[in-house]
Amino acid sequence: MKKTVFSFLFLILAASGMAQDRPKLVVGIVVDQMRWDYLYRFYDEYTNGGFRRLLNEGFTYEDCQINYIPSITAIGHTSIFTGSVPSIHGIAGNNFLLDGKMTYCTDDNSVQTVGSETKAGMMSPRNMLATTIGDELKTAMNWQSKVIGVSFKDRASILPAGHQADAAYWFDKEALCFISSTYYMQELPKWVTAYNEQIGREIKQLAKRDKNTKVIDLIQYEPYGNEITMRMAKAAIKNERLGQRDKMTDMLTLSFSCTDITGHKYGTHHEKMHAQFIGLDKQLADFFNYLDQTIGKGKYLVFLSADHGAANGILQNQEHRVPSDGFYSGGVNKDLNAALAQTFGLNADDASGRLSKFIMDNKVVLNRDAIRANRLSEGDVAQAIVDFFKKHPAVQYCFPLEQAATAPVPAIIREKAINGYKHDRSGDIQIILKPGYYGTGKEIDAGTTHGNWNPYDCHIPFVLMGWHVPHGSSAAEVHITDIAPTICSLLHIQMPSGCIGEPVNDRMK
């Protein structure tokens, strides 16, 4: 009898020991608009403690690909932390259709701003349909873990942290401070208020030094924007004691947004983009050193990735004889409606004669009310749209998304289109632009964007460092959707509810 009891207790203790074999803190870092090649383009200028440390101490997957379109911010952040794609997790864009109306991905009119008088905090993760790594960690740890999201952008803080997050904080560009939402809390913790007061004094000094530039531009187009984001993350670790509570694993999601903001305005090869990454490298070195001192080297797990990459600028491409041009969707949609009106004998100057509502993320949104009012066949209209774009100089392929599975396009494009299609939230007809072509305003400038299937938009970094991570690399292809199940496998917790990826931590052996 004593032997049986002893064996039973041993099994309990053994199981308990296995359950506790986790890092003290998991830190998921996303660098917005970080192409994979940025790991190496500036390598000689990086310090030993930032990106170089990740590569020299950690494990890098050299061919991590986004497996859906459009490759844009809200989707990327969601896919990294859910292991899923828009057709399942529901975040079909930065903006998408919800009940037939265009909606910002994290808009939530049922909540209020916490920390300022603006409407910038009326946000929550409710439009996301799947759980995240943090959600599954909370559940696995009987809701004793803490999960906190920090970013300059609202969506980059809210969506990675998940539904059960203790807090998400983002920067209010009007009030110039970090805020949150009543989804998480009724008032800011005292430490956040104190931090806001500190950076408020710094921002005033910035404004005094350059009175000819908007204050927000002095923040977001310079390394300072990422600097205050990094320091906010450190303050969260310190004041919430993340990773410093006995037998507990916590999680911090941290997204650096100013690299994306700068890239959109200045492009992939501008000195300001260069300065952002040299500055970010130093900030990461500072942050990793802080983790070493606060949590303990080897006791935390860091993974770094990106929500998407970016195309080289059109003007740069053209200067160097690379085929490239813009696709101004507003003007194209006007031309499309004129062509459709002529085909079906309608008046495009009248709202009832415009059969295409608009083009979003290279998808045509049908005006079904107009199609029904004119007693037209939706299939006939769709075919007319496809015929129109087959003649467009910027377009390589065009097909109705309901027929994507049989579309005569390369399999990789077909798969990405299907993964990115949420029937009640996406557009109806997919446009695939030629390589080097991307959406622009009326005038093409030196800046850039992203969203297409091509490697420049979809080849992203995936690097792990710290707890139980050996040094090494793998050249085998993995996907953005493999990140979440890999982290969950390392933590011995269930993968998120909509996860379609596979753990790839066995390649680290």
Nearest to 242 by CA among 182, 166, 179: 166
Residues 174-192, mean pLDDT to the nearest whole number: 98
CA distance 193 to 195: 5
Task: Count CA atoms within 13 Å of residue 17 on its CB side.
Answer: 6
The reported pLDDT for the residue numbered 48 is 97
- Write out pLDDT tens, residues 283-322: 999 999 999 999 999 999 999 999 999 999 999 999 999 9
Place of tokens 């090649």: 37
Whether the pLDDT of residue 13 is over 80: the answer is no
87 close to 418: Cβ distance less than 8 angstroms: yes
Burial class (CB in 10 A: 0-12, 13-18, 19+), 326: buried
Whether the pLDDT of residue 331 is over 50: the answer is yes
- Write out pLDDT tens, residues 114-153: 999 999 999 999 999 999 999 999 999 999 999 999 999 9
- Write out pLDDT tens, residues 467-482: 999 999 999 999 999 9
Count CB-CB contacts under 10 A for residue 320.
9
Contacts of 143 (CB under 8 A, 6+ apart): 164
Question: Tokens for 420?
Answer: 């990115």
72 close to 439: Cβ distance less than 8 angstroms: no
3-class secondary structure, 42: coil
Which spans in 141-251 are helix H? 154-161, 190-209, 215-220, 223-240
CA distance 407 to 398: 9
Question: What's the pLDDT band for 509 if we cut at 50, 70, 90?
Answer: confident
88 close to 130: Cβ distance less than 8 angstroms: yes
- Write out pLDDT tens, residues 154-175: 999 999 999 999 999 999 999 9
In sequence order, the β-bridge partners of residue 167 are: 148
Question: What's the pLDDT band for 348 if we cut at 50, 70, 90?
Answer: confident
Question: Tokens for 330?
Answer: 């507003």
**Long-range pairs for 121-125 at CB < 8 Å and ≥24 separation?**
121/172, 121/179, 121/180, 121/181, 121/182, 122/181, 123/154, 123/155, 123/158, 123/170, 123/181, 123/183, 124/158, 124/181, 124/183, 125/158, 125/159, 125/161, 125/162, 125/163, 125/165, 125/168, 125/183
Question: Tokens for 238?
Answer: 């310190």
Q: What are phi and psi of 74, to 5 degrees?
A: -60, -40
The reported pLDDT for the residue numbered 20 is 54
30 close to 75: Cβ distance less than 8 angstroms: no
The reported pLDDT for the residue numbered 174 is 97
Give the chain's length: 509
473 close to 61: Cβ distance less than 8 angstroms: yes
Q: What are phi and psi of 244, to 5 degrees?
A: -125, 20
State the amino acid at position 271 in one-letter form: E
The reported pLDDT for the residue numbered 449 is 97
The reported pLDDT for the residue numbered 14 is 37
Residues 197-217, mean pLDDT to the nearest whole number: 94
Q: Is 73 a catalytic residue?
A: yes
Place of tokens 């989804």: 183
CA distance 357 to 336: 10
- Write out pLDDT tens, residues 24-64: 999 999 999 999 999 999 999 999 999 999 999 999 999 99
Annotated catalytic residue, options 73, 131, 229, 268? 73
Whether the pLDDT of residue 1 is over 60: the answer is no
State the amino acid at position 138 in one-letter form: K
Nearest to 392 by CA among 425, 411, 364, 420: 364
Mean pLDDT, rounded, of the chain: 95
